Amino acid sequence: MKIALICSDRGPAPPVKGGAIQLLISKIAPLLAKTYEVTVFSVTDPSLPDTECTNGVCFERYDKDQFFQQVCERVKQVQFDVIQVYNRPGYIPLIREAVPRSKIILSLHNLVYNTLKVERSLAEAAFREADWIFTVSRFIAEDTAEKFPVASAKIQPLYTGVDLDDYSSIWSKRGRKWRNKIRSLYNLDSKDPVILFVGRLVPDKGCHLILGAMNEILKNVKHAKLLIVGSKWYADKSTSKYIERLKKLAREHEHSIVFASYVPVEEIPKYYAAADLFICPSQWKEPLARVHYEAMAAGLPVITTSRGGNHEVVRNGKNGIVIDDYKNPAAFAAASIDILNDPDKAIAMGKAGRKDVKNIYNFDRVTSDIALLYTKLFESSEQGTNSSS
């Protein structure tokens, strides 16, 4: 069976410039390639060849301004059995026109209106033509079904995850080695309680809420530090008005706050190992940020908000804390103090989260689910053919 995985056009695969979708595809493609012929389509990057085959996967990369046109031509030439399109509903109708007999799956990682901003007529056409729609969370599934009833019967929530081997828990030998390396790099004492933020530095991600909570945290947690990993965009170390605002907020406690800026995706696991607590203070209706899986894989307790789908993987009181009062810095301060001043609770939450990743939120499970859904898709098609005959 020939499978095409079509990336969004926001970055290349593998994710040399970052990107959750690019990382997901790059991780599951070799696993799918054990069973299927897999081709990944993405935009070009100077550091990557236009075509290559590695780990059983063929990569084809096209310039961004011609990406979709080139992909359409290729899928028409090759005639893939399954074409899985990531986060671009607008591609679906034209792909269907190019390959009427292929099974087409839309993997939806954002809200259709709020983030992707697809016109209603085009979105409805996409949902009609798609054979199946995978969503990154129940939140995205329910929002899509409510706004587009035509899609409701085709929607299947499919949680993603991480490669557990890429992460080391803070109590493992490799994790301690990484912990010492990163802490030394930023002059953080080995005994400092470290809070970690990882994400783009934009208002919706809410980093300012943690900075607003630091005054109260420092009153109650001796030598607490905040390590901020991120930039305004992937692989972009330039500043912005919001970043300057964050640095201004940090001045009051400048010796307790570290800005690490952009960190390459392959180095990120080391930063999780250096921390004691992870906070995702998201202020927007986040689909479900992969940083939750990453923090859990590293054995960190997680504080997140009830916005969007983030809370679907954080079991309140079990592997972390979910904040309902998400605009209030005091709420983040109280939750942080509660965890950091109770090491036994922090370790129990961290171990529960890592167990969740081992059992559920990992790429082996994601790949297995996708393969099963591929099979069901063709079985239902054969049944439909047999019944019509």
What number is the average pLDDT over the span 59-64?
97
Give the tens place of pLDDT for each residue, 72-81.
Answer: 999 999 999 9
Q: Where does the pLDDT of residue 19 fall: very low under 50, low under 70, confident under 90, or very high at 90 and above?
A: confident
- pLDDT of 235 reads 66
DSSP output for 170-219: TTSHHHHHHHHHHHHHTT--TT--EEEEES--SGGG-HHHHHHHHHHHHH
Strand, coil or helix: what is 244?
helix
**Cis omega before residue 46 (within 30°)?**
no
What number is the average pLDDT over the span 342-346?
97
What number is the average pLDDT over the span 70-97?
96
Q: Where does the pLDDT of residue 382 fall: very low under 50, low under 70, confident under 90, or very high at 90 and above?
A: low
What number is the average pLDDT over the span 327-336?
98
d(CA 22, CA 16): 9
**Model-level pTM?**
0.93
d(CA 36, CA 375): 12
Residue 196 contacts residue 186 (beta carbons within 8 Å): no
- pLDDT of 238 reads 83
* Dihedral angle sign, alpha carbons of residues 343, 345, 348, 350: negative
Judged against a pLDDT cut of 60, whether residue 389 lies above it is answered with: no
Strand bridging mode 51-54 / 57-62: antiparallel
What number is the average pLDDT over the span 45-73?
97
What number is the average pLDDT over the span 179-185?
97
**Cis omega before residue 269 (within 30°)?**
no
Closest CA to 233 of 203, 259, 201: 201
Q: Which residue has the higher pLDDT, 274 or 20?
A: 274
What number is the average pLDDT over the span 69-94?
96
Same fold, 2-161+362-380 and 164-359: yes
User: Domain-by-domain residue ranges, the chain?
Assistant: 2-161+362-380, 164-359
The number of residues making up the chain comes to: 389
Q: Which residue has the higher pLDDT, 102 or 17?
A: 102
Q: Which residues lie across from 225 on neighbouring strands? A: 194
Residue 296 contacts residue 319 (beta carbons within 8 Å): yes
What number is the average pLDDT over the span 247-266?
94
Judged against a pLDDT cut of 70, whether residue 256 lies above it is answered with: yes
Give the tens place of pLDDT for each residue, 214-225.
Answer: 999 999 999 999
d(CA 10, CA 19): 8
d(CA 232, CA 18): 12
Q: How far is CA 89 from CA 123, 146, 172, 273, in A?
A: 6, 17, 42, 37
* Domain at 164-359, CATH homologous superfamily: Glycogen Phosphorylase B; (3.40.50.2000)
Q: Considering the chain, what percentage of its residues have pLDDT values greater than 90?
A: 89
Strand, coil or helix: what is 233?
strand
Strand, coil or helix: what is 276?
coil
Which of 83-92, 118-127, 338-347, 374-383 has the lowest average pLDDT?
374-383
d(CA 106, CA 362): 21
* Dihedral angle sign, alpha carbons of residues 84, 280, 198, 204: positive
What number is the average pLDDT over the span 167-178?
95
Judged against a pLDDT cut of 80, whether residue 84 lies above it is answered with: yes
Give the tens place of pLDDT for each residue, 114-137.
Answer: 888 889 999 999 999 999 999 999
What number is the average pLDDT over the span 339-349?
97
Pick the CATH number of 2-161+362-380 from 3.40.630.30, 3.40.50.2000, 3.40.50.720, 3.30.450.270: 3.40.50.2000
- pLDDT of 115 reads 82
What number is the average pLDDT over the span 346-369?
97
Give the tens place of pLDDT for each residue, 275-326.
Answer: 999 999 999 999 999 999 999 999 999 999 999 999 999 999 999 999 999 9
